[in-house]
Amino acid sequence: MSIFDNEDEFYMQQALREARTARDEEEVPIGAVIVCDGQIVARAHNNTERLHDVTAHAEMVAFTAAANTLGTKYLPNCTLYVTVEPCPMCAGAAGWMQIGRIVYGAGDPKKGFEKLGHGMLHPKTVVDNGVMQEECSELMKEFFKKKR
């Protein structure tokens, strides 16, 4: 039995859909959704090529969209589902947003935030990982294999 419940897998599937959209647009295939009280309040994927902005990560776009949707500044009752471990910029943004929980699929030992610790997060933020990590990681591997 998985340590993750079906809900986490369901929402990570939604994040994976976003990641596949990114791939189809030749963006780095990372997707994110933000969930609040069982509702998806934001969906986003990496948009750095289209926006010509190296900071337009899935998470950054999703945070702003979720705050707009909910009409709030902070997201303490929300969960961020993202296919790949957030980078320090996105983790720092999650900190400002006071997000309740972060669930990521595949780890990113090189560019991920975890190697710097959880100091940039809000102290109450819970972090889980590994949900559908094979699928999340496979998308990234395929993308970068093609690029070479």
Catalytic residue annotation:
59
Residues 6+ apart with CB under 8 A from 91: 102, 113, 120, 121
Residue 73 found at the interface with its own copies (CB under 8 A): yes
Q: In terms of Cα–Cα distance, which of 44, 131, 129, 52 is closest to 93? A: 44
Residues 6+ apart with CB under 8 A from 2: 9
For residue 32, give both structure tokens: 């994110």
Q: Any idea what DSSP says for residue 87? A: P
* Span of 2-10, 17-25, 57-65, 77-85 interacting with its own copies by CB under 8 A: 57-65
Q: Which helix (H) or strand (E) holds 105?
A: strand 101-106
User: What phi and psi values does residue 38 have, to the nearest 5 degrees?
Assistant: 75, 10
Residue 61 found at the interface with its own copies (CB under 8 A): no
For residue 37, give both structure tokens: 């009280």
Residue number, 90 or 131, with CB nearest to its own copies:
90
* Span of 3-11, 31-39, 91-99, 133-141 interacting with its own copies by CB under 8 A: 91-99
Residue 96 found at the interface with its own copies (CB under 8 A): yes
* Span of 15-23, 39-47, 89-97, 128-136 interacting with its own copies by CB under 8 A: 89-97
Residue number, 40 or 89, with CB nearest to its own copies:
89
Q: Which residues bind its own copies (CB under 8 A)?
A: 48, 52-55, 60, 63-64, 67-68, 73-74, 87-93, 95-97, 113, 115-117, 119-120
